[in-house]
Amino acid sequence: MNTPSFSRRNFLKVTVSAAGGLMVGFTLPTPLQAAMGEAGEINAWLTIDPDNIVSIVTPQTEMGQGAWTSIPMMVAEELDVPWENVRSVRADANRHVNNAELYTTTSTGGSTTVSRRHPYMMQAGASARERLRVAASNRWGVPLDKVVAKQGYLSTEHEEQGMLQGTYGEFAADAVAVTLEKEPTIKAYGDWWLLGTDVKRVDVASKTNGSAVYPIDVTVEGMVYAAVQACPVPEGKLVSFDFEAVKGMPGVIAAVELKQVKDVPAFTDLRSAVAIVAESWFQAKNALAVMPIVWDFGRGATISFESQTAEALSLLAAPGTLVKDEDGNIGKGMDKGVNHDAVPDLLAASTKLVTGEVYSRPFEAHATMMPPCAVADVKADRVDVWTFTQDIGRSLNEVADQLGRDTKAVFLHQTQLGGGFGGGYNMDVHRQAAAISAAVGKPVKVIRSREEDIAQDSQRPPVWGTYKAALGEDGLPVALLTHFVGEEKMPAFAQRGVANLPYLIPNRRHENSLVQNHVPIGYHRAPGANSNGFIVEQMVDELAQAGGWDPLEWRIKLTEGMEPWQRVLQAMKAKSGWTTDMGDGEGMGCAVVESHGTIAGCVATVSVSRRGQIFVDKLQYFINSGYVINPLNAREQAESSAIWELSHAMFGGLQVRDGRIVNTNFDSYPMMRMPDTPPEIEVNLEMSEDQWWGGLGEPTGPPTPPAVANALFYATGTRVRTTPLSKAEL
Amino acid sequence: MAITLNINGQDHTIDADPQMPLLWAIREKAGLSGTKFGCGIAQCGACTVIIDGNAVRSCNTPLATAAGKAIRTIEGLSADNDHPVQKAWQELTVPQCGYCQSGQIMSAVALLEQSPDPTDNEIDKAMAGNICRCGTYTRIRAAIHRAAEMSKT
């Protein structure tokens, strides 16, 4: 499907690496440049050393999703080099930022590292391979078509000298001088030897002996530690603090005010906060905890989740604003030809009207296992930063902006992340570290306490939604009105997967309303789809039931002719052992949601004890993401997203009272643990004949909670319309 | 106040508040960064170390109570990353982001030392104190069984 097109005017830039080997930079136009017909800048690099070791650069960050493995795999596929010869190395953020975004983007999110970036990664490998062939052809004096490049070796059958062979490394220096007349075409699916096979992620061993380095592990000579507190009510500001009261405490060095420039800060602006700097983080945290601080809480102080819910319910009682399909996140097979205008009259005239109740999902935090942390070493002529970020380039720019420095003097070093899930985007921890280091004149490590992390996170927004449908004679909907309430900061999240509903309903209308909200909002693993899927896919079950349809058959019927959806749904029917009649206390439920270009279906099997305790016995996934370059990692990601979202659905939910997040650590904001984990998780990769590149880091999350909730309905007869499910009366 | 800690068989004399959590002494004073900070209230297990054979959350263990005891951290498990639990973790590619895994591994090691061939229920109970946000639980469970198997042969 959306394979980015690129100009054949691409060209290569070459230099000799420090080790004397070949460095290949492959250029691709940015979308803007492509539109203008101009060649772009270099966006990927590889080096081949004389000992035949290939180092492949990763501009994307590693947060457990496998970017440091997937990127080298895509390059090595084309280069045709043994996987054991490949080294995964980090991109230089400074070089990226100061060379017109050398790597096109360093952003790491939206499940795009493979799905969107494979063309230029693979092209870099193909270019290097072809130039090595030309180098060998020249040295051996044989025609180019007689030179074979395979598994790190160049070879030819020479007319006089017989079989000649050499490593890529032996020809790397020659290849530097080679200019290709035209770029090779990258391989198509079916010609792959490495892509499509199970490859273990390259960083696993570093994570079994404590040697993997996260920002929290970085130490710099002379480094001190800082604990920070931002206003407990987001958007509020610091009025005053009394450092005198704590400056005599052990180890305490300084207090630093972090100034918020705007009334309502943008996502990555520095927020109003105060820091204590000490010789140890424990000392800084202790002093900060007892330092008297006066805040101006601002407008948020009167907002609570309850007040937002009340506002949402009143908004749902009246018509909302019509959202057109084009405004949603249009998905595969989307039928754009639906009629919005006829819906109100059809509902009013219906003799088989289904009126939905209100569904909702609460705020959720990222709560990455590593609390946000950054180290900054601000010197007069140079700034070094290590931070929790999903975009090294953007964060480098933010540090430069914070300090008023030239980006050329800022060096941001890529580390492991300790989880990301979208939380590494809207983050001001590196601004904090930079500002504090500049203020105290020493390198500083900022560590957020878990309480500060959850209180100040850019949260996943809540959503409230309901619907009305008119059913036809066949029990299928002829008209559907959905009305979802989101919040004001990122309103589009409340439309994803709803405005662009896949089901073929001839008359359909989606309305949107917004509640007031001061809580920062951010991307959160399958944003929008994660919460909306819970509502939409339970609505579907209710509509199917009202019309006398089996819920899986209903989905199959209303996606007729849409091959990618049919592939998933038919697999669910054929392989899951599907039934809605398992007997008392047990149930099976299904749901299917598209996100990130991937259609993911889930069949959940649950049992409920007499006391109402929920056991998720089995989760089965049927995923159509198009091409899969590493089935092992695909399965791992599928399980990971599933557990992530089941965790929120079962146990999560942030409480907001008097404007502040109340449950800010794992005692009050519980997570799924091993005993709660379904004993069986099955992942089926159902690749469509209509092949494309979809993402795999997120899509199994969204269908999981509705599949479980639908299963709970068949187990108990009770429909649970909000989360956490563990608090439902069953 | 100077306190002597025995970490991975080596004595470290540490000048710190006796109430300082052991975690920060291990990380900041002894310079062993494999043990992680996750919550500070013994809820997530990222800071798990083994003290006298038991899995302990170092983030709320005062330094003073650990003095004179045998403290083991992830760095002390093996010189070559080849303890059976480490090997099983690698074989089944357990870690994703990896941040919780030092704690998971130390909990698993303590379990296997006490119960060399644990049942799923024993594993669930022993590992319930360790949160993994990436959701690697099914692989952790399988890897504990695999490590038990490796240790037998």
A to B CB pairs, distance under 8 Å: 175
CA-CA distances (angstroms) from residue A414 to A62, A391, A637? 9, 9, 22
Query: Which residue did the predictor score with more confidence, B48 or A332?
Result: B48
Between CA A718 and CA A362 the distance in angstroms is: 20
Are the beta carbons of A558 and A592 closer than 8 angstroms? no
Q: Which one, of A713, A504, A698, lies nearest residue A600 by Cα?
A: A698
Residue A41 has pLDDT above 90, yes or no: no
Query: Which residue in the block uniquely carries the two structure tokens 């309305």?
Result: A511
**3-state class (DSSP) for residue A123:** helix
Q: What DSSP line would sit under A226-244, residue for residue?
A: EEEEE-SSTT-EEEEE-GG
Are the beta carbons of A152 and A85 closer than 8 angstroms? yes
| Eight-class DSSP state of B42 | S
B48 lies in some domain? yes
Of B46, B93, B140, the CB nearest to A674: B140
Chain B touched by A492 (CB under 8 Å): no
Distance from CA of B130 to the nearest CA of A (A): 7
Give the per-residue pLDDT at A13: 36
Query: What is the pairing mode between strands A41-48 and A54-58?
Result: antiparallel
Residue A189 has pLDDT above 80, yes or no: yes
B120 lies in some domain? yes
Residue of A nearest to B130 (CA): A673
B45 and B94 inside one domain: no
Give the per-residue pLDDT at A5: 31
Domain A307-363+460-727 has CATH 3.40.50.150: no
Q: What is the mean pLDDT of residues A255-269?
A: 88
Which amino acid does the sequence have at A604? Answer: A
Residue of B nearest to A636 (CA): B136
| Eight-class DSSP state of A188 | P
Between CA A538 and CA A602 the distance in angstroms is: 13
Between CA A319 and CA A628 the distance in angstroms is: 43
Can you list the pairs that A258-261 forms with residues at least 24 positions away whose Cβ atoms lie under 8 Å? A258/A228, A258/A230, A258/A431, A258/A432, A258/A435, A258/A436
For residue A460, the Cα-to-chain-centroid distance in whole angstroms is 12
Query: Which residue did the predictor score with more confidence, A46 or B138?
Result: B138
Residue A36 has pLDDT above 50, yes or no: no
- The tens digit of pLDDT for each residue in A664-698 reads 999 999 999 999 999 999 999 998 766 788 999 99
B68 and B9 inside one domain: yes
Q: How many CB atoms lie within 10 A of CB A610?
A: 8
Distance from CA of B36 to the nearest CA of A (A): 8
Give the per-residue pLDDT at A333: 36
- The tens digit of pLDDT for each residue in B90-149 reads 999 999 999 999 999 999 999 999 999 999 999 999 999 999 999 999 999 999 999 999
Of B95, B98, B131, the CB nearest to A671: B131
Q: What is the mean pLDDT of residues B48-66?
A: 97
Number of domains comprising chain B: 2
CATH at residue B101:
1.10.150.120
CA-CA distances (angstroms) from residue A225 to A184, A291, A432, B100, B153? 52, 17, 12, 22, 47
Q: Does the beta-carbon distance from B98 to A207 stay under 8 Å? A: yes
Q: What is the mean pLDDT of residues A56-71?
A: 94
Of B81, B93, B100, the CB nearest to A209: B81
Q: Do domains A12-206 and A307-363+460-727 have the same CATH topology?
A: yes
Give the per-residue pLDDT at A29: 33
Query: Residue A202: left (phi > 0), alpha (psi -120 to 50), or beta?
Result: alpha
CATH domain A12-206 topology: Aldehyde Oxidoreductase; domain 4 (3.30.365)
Q: Which residues contact A439 (CB under 8 A, 6 or more apart)?
A: A254, A256
Distance from CA of A203 to the nearest CA of B (A): 9
- Tokens representing A550 are 């089996």
First and final C-alpha spacing in chain B: 47
**3-state class (DSSP) for residue A59:** coil
* Strand-pair partners of A252: A278
Of B39, B74, B137, the CB nearest to A666: B39
Give the per-residue pLDDT at A112: 87
Give the per-residue pLDDT at A15: 36
B79 lies in some domain? no
Q: Which one, of A144, A145, A140, A179, lies nearest residue A162 by Cα?
A: A140
SS (H, E, C) A271-324: CCEEEEEECCHHHHHHHHHHCCEEEECHHHHHCCHHHHHHHHHHHHCCCCEEEC
* Angle formed at CA A682 by CA A676 and CA A687, multiple of 5 degrees: 140
B146 and B114 inside one domain: yes
Give the per-residue pLDDT at A337: 59
**3-state class (DSSP) for residue B132:** coil
**3-state class (DSSP) for residue A498:** coil
Distance from CA of A1 to the nearest CA of B (A): 29
CATH at residue B13:
3.10.20.30
Q: Chain A contacts of B32, Cβ < 8 Å?
A: 210
Q: Does the beta-carbon distance from A201 to B93 stay under 8 Å? A: yes
- The tens digit of pLDDT for each residue in A609-665 reads 999 999 999 999 999 999 999 999 999 999 999 999 999 999 999 999 999 999 999
Q: What is the mean pLDDT of residues B53-61?
A: 97
CATH domain A215-299+372-447 topology: Aldehyde Oxidoreductase; domain 4 (3.30.365)
Q: How many CB atoms lie within 10 A of CB A316?
A: 18
B114 and B146 inside one domain: yes
Are the beta carbons of A364 and A648 closer than 8 angstroms? yes
Query: What are the residue boundaries of the structural domains of chain A, listed by start?
Result: 12-206, 215-299+372-447, 307-363+460-727
Q: Chain A contacts of B21, Cβ < 8 Å?
A: 282
**3-state class (DSSP) for residue A502:** coil
Give the per-residue pLDDT at A340: 82
Are the beta carbons of A387 and A215 closer than 8 angstroms? yes
pLDDT band (50, 70, 90) for residue A330: very low
Of B41, B100, B128, the CB nearest to A369: B100
Of B16, B38, B81, the CB nearest to A450: B38
Residue B3 has pLDDT above 50, yes or no: yes
Residue of B nearest to A666 (CA): B43
Can you list the pairs that A251-256 forms with residues at least 24 positions away whose Cβ atoms lie under 8 Å? A251/A278, A251/A279, A251/A280, A251/A283, A251/A284, A252/A276, A252/A277, A252/A278, A252/A283, A252/A284, A252/A287, A253/A224, A253/A277, A253/A278, A253/A279, A253/A440, A254/A439, A254/A440, A255/A291, A256/A226, A256/A435, A256/A436, A256/A439, A256/A440
- Tokens representing A615 are 């056991």
Are the beta carbons of A653 and A644 closer than 8 angstroms? no
* Angle formed at CA A480 by CA A475 and CA A481, multiple of 5 degrees: 150
B89 lies in some domain? yes
- The tens digit of pLDDT for each residue in B21-47 reads 999 999 999 999 999 999 999 999 999
- Tokens representing A370 are 């590593």
Are the beta carbons of B19 and B80 closer than 8 angstroms? no
What is this model's ipTM?
Answer: 0.98
Between CA A217 and CA B104 the distance in angstroms is: 18
Of A63, A64, A205, the CB nearest to B90: A205
B6 and B67 inside one domain: yes
Between CA B147 and CA B84 the distance in angstroms is: 5
Between CA A556 and CA B46 the distance in angstroms is: 44
Between CA A606 and CA A619 the distance in angstroms is: 9
B67 and B88 inside one domain: no
Q: Which one, of A701, A515, A280, lies nearest residue B63 by Cα?
A: A280
Q: What is the mean pLDDT of residues A325-340?
A: 51
Q: Chain B contacts of A367, Cβ < 8 Å?
A: 133
- The tens digit of pLDDT for each residue in A456-487 reads 999 999 999 999 999 999 999 999 999 999 99
| Eight-class DSSP state of B29 | I
Distance from CA of B68 to the nearest CA of A (A): 22
Q: Does an H or E element contain A46, and which? A: strand A41-48
Mean pLDDT of chain A: 90
* Strand-pair partners of B57: B48
Q: Does the beta-carbon distance from A666 to B131 stay under 8 Å? A: yes
Portion 560-619 of A in contact with B at CB < 8 A: none
Domain closes at, from B73, B93, B117:
B73
Give the per-residue pLDDT at A18: 39
Q: How many alpha carbons lie under 13 Å from residue A569 in its C-beta half-sphere?
A: 23
Range list of H helices, A114-252: 118-140, 168-176
B78 lies in some domain? no
For residue A294, the Cα-to-chain-centroid distance in whole angstroms is 37
Q: Which one, of B146, B136, B127, lies nearest residue B45 by Cα?
A: B127
Domain closes at, from B73, B94, B117:
B73
pLDDT band (50, 70, 90) for residue A45: low
Residue A585 has pLDDT above 50, yes or no: yes
Give the per-residue pLDDT at A327: 45
B69 and B6 inside one domain: yes
Give the per-residue pLDDT at A495: 87
- Tokens representing A470 are 């008119």
Gyration radius of chain A's alpha carbons: 28
Portion 394-453 of A in contact with B at CB < 8 A: 416-421, 447, 449-450
Domain closes at, from B43, B73, B103:
B73
Residue of B nearest to A198 (CA): B93
Between CA A139 and CA A178 the distance in angstroms is: 12
Are the beta carbons of A402 and B82 closer than 8 angstroms? no
Q: What DSSP line would sit under A443-465, residue for residue?
A: -EEEE--HHHHHHHS-BBPPEEE
Q: Which one, of B141, B89, B149, lies nearest residue B120 by Cα?
A: B141
Domain of residue B65, residue span = 2-73
Between CA A219 and CA A223 the distance in angstroms is: 7
Residue A537 has pLDDT above 90, yes or no: yes
Q: Which residues contact A121 (CB under 8 A, 6 or more apart)?
A: A44, A71, A74, A75
Of A212, A281, A636, the CB nearest to B93: A636
Chain B touched by A29 (CB under 8 Å): no
**3-state class (DSSP) for residue B54:** strand
Q: How many alpha carbons lie under 13 Å from residue A267 in its C-beta half-sphere?
A: 15
Give the per-residue pLDDT at A336: 52
Q: What is the mean pLDDT of residues A293-317?
A: 97
Residue A324 has pLDDT above 80, yes or no: no
Q: Does the beta-carbon distance from A64 to B75 stay under 8 Å? A: no
pLDDT band (50, 70, 90) for residue A20: very low
- The tens digit of pLDDT for each residue in A82-128 reads 999 999 999 999 989 998 888 889 999 888 888 888 888 899 899 99
Q: Which one, of B43, B8, B37, lies nearest residue B20 by Cα?
A: B37
Q: Is the pTM of this model over 0.95?
A: no
Chain B touched by A388 (CB under 8 Å): no
Q: Does the beta-carbon distance from B33 to A210 stay under 8 Å? A: yes
Q: What is the mean pLDDT of residues A37-65?
A: 72
Q: What DSSP line would sit under A252-263, residue for residue?
A: EEEEEEE---SS
Instruction: Please confirm whether the linkage preceding A724 is cis (ω < 30° from 0).
Output: yes
Interface test with B, best of A386, A646, A674 (most B CBs within 10 A): A674
- The tens digit of pLDDT for each residue in A358-412 reads 999 999 999 999 999 999 999 999 999 999 999 999 999 999 999 999 999 999 9
Sign of CA dihedral A489, A491, A492, A495: positive
